[in-house]
Amino acid sequence: MLPVNCGSHSDYQNFLTKNLRKYYPDPNALARSTWDIIERFWNLDLSFTDEFMADKYSKFGPAPRTPSCMQRSYLLSIAFKVTSITEWVAQLKINPLYAILSGFEVGDTPGVGTFYDFMKRLWNSQDENLSPHIHPLKTKVLKPKTKGTKADSIEKVTVAELLPQLEAASFSIDDQPYSSLFKIYKNEFLDISVSKGLITPEAIALAGDGTPVVTSHRERKKRICDCAEKGITGCKCDRYFSQPDCDIGWDSSRDCYYHGYDLYMLVASDSEGDLPIFPHFSCASKHDSHGFLHAFFRFKSFLPDYKVSKLLLDSAHDAMPYYEYCKRENITPFIDLNDKGGRPPVYKNDFTIGKDGVPICQSGFRMRRDGTETAKGRTKFKCPKISRKGGCVTCTCDTPCSDAKYGRTVHLVMKDNPRLFNNPPRSSKEWKLEYKARTSVERSNKREKLDFKLEDGRHRSTKMWYCRLYHILMLQHLDAWDLPFESPLKKLILNVA
31-55 tens-digit pLDDT: 888 989 999 999 999 999 999 999 8
Looking at the chain, the whole-number percentage of residues with pLDDT higher than 70 is: 92
Asked whether residue 345 carries a pLDDT value surpassing 70, the answer given is no
What is the four-CA torsion angle of 462, 463, 466, 472, rounded to 10 degrees?
Answer: -120
pLDDT at 289: 94
Q: Does residue 433 or residue 149 have the better pLDDT?
A: 433
For residues 57-90, b (16+ Cβ closer than 10 Å) or e, as one string? eeeeeeebbbbbbbbbbbbbbbbbebbebeebbe
* Contact present, 121 and 466 (Cβ < 8 Å): no
pLDDT at 161: 95
What average pLDDT score do residues 308-336 get?
93
User: What tens digit of pLDDT does each residue of 434-483 get?
Assistant: 999 999 999 999 999 999 999 999 899 999 999 999 999 999 999 999 88
User: What tens digit of pLDDT does each residue of 251-302 get?
Assistant: 988 899 999 999 999 999 999 889 999 999 999 999 999 999 999 999 999 9
- How many other β-carbons are positioned within 10 Å of the β-carbon of residue 173? 16
Asked whether residue 413 carries a pLDDT value surpassing 80, the answer given is no
Looking at the chain, the whole-number percentage of residues with pLDDT higher than 90 is: 60
pLDDT at 497: 46
Q: Containing H/E element for 214? A: strand 204-216
pLDDT at 383: 80
What average pLDDT score do residues 305-323 get?
94
User: What tens digit of pLDDT does each residue of 365-400 get?
Assistant: 887 877 777 776 778 887 877 766 655 666 667 677
pLDDT at 390: 57
- Strand, helix or coil for residue 381: strand
User: Mean pLDDT across the chain, nearest whole number?
Assistant: 88
* Contact present, 284 and 262 (Cβ < 8 Å): yes
